[in-house]
Chains A and B, each alone.
Chain A
Amino acid sequence: GAGVSQSPRYKVTKRGQDVALRCDPISGHVSLYWYRQALGQGPEFLTYFNYEAQQDKSGLPNDRFSAERPEGSISTLTIQRTEQRDSAMYRCASSLGASGPQETQYFGPGTRLLVL
Chain B
Amino acid sequence: GNSVTQMEGPVTLSEEAFLTINCTYTATGYPSLFWYVQYPGEGLQLLLKATKADDKGSNKGFEATYRKETTSFHLEKGSVQVSDSAVYFCALSDNGGFKTIFGAGTRLFVKA
Give the interface of A toward B (CB within 8 A): 3-4, 33, 40-45, 48, 55-56, 58-59, 91, 93, 100-102, 104-110
Interface residues on chain B, number (Cβ under 8 Å):
25
Say yes or no: A100-B95 contact (C-beta < 8 A), given A42-B105, A44-B102.
yes
Partner of B32, one of A40, A55, A102: A102
Give the interface of B toward A (CB within 8 A): 4, 32, 36, 42-46, 49, 51, 89, 91, 93-105
B32 to chain A, nearest CB (A): 4
B102 touches A43 (CB 8 A): yes
A40 touches B93 (CB 8 A): no
B98 touches A110 (CB 8 A): no
B101's nearest neighbour on chain A, judged by CB, is A45
B102 touches A101 (CB 8 A): no
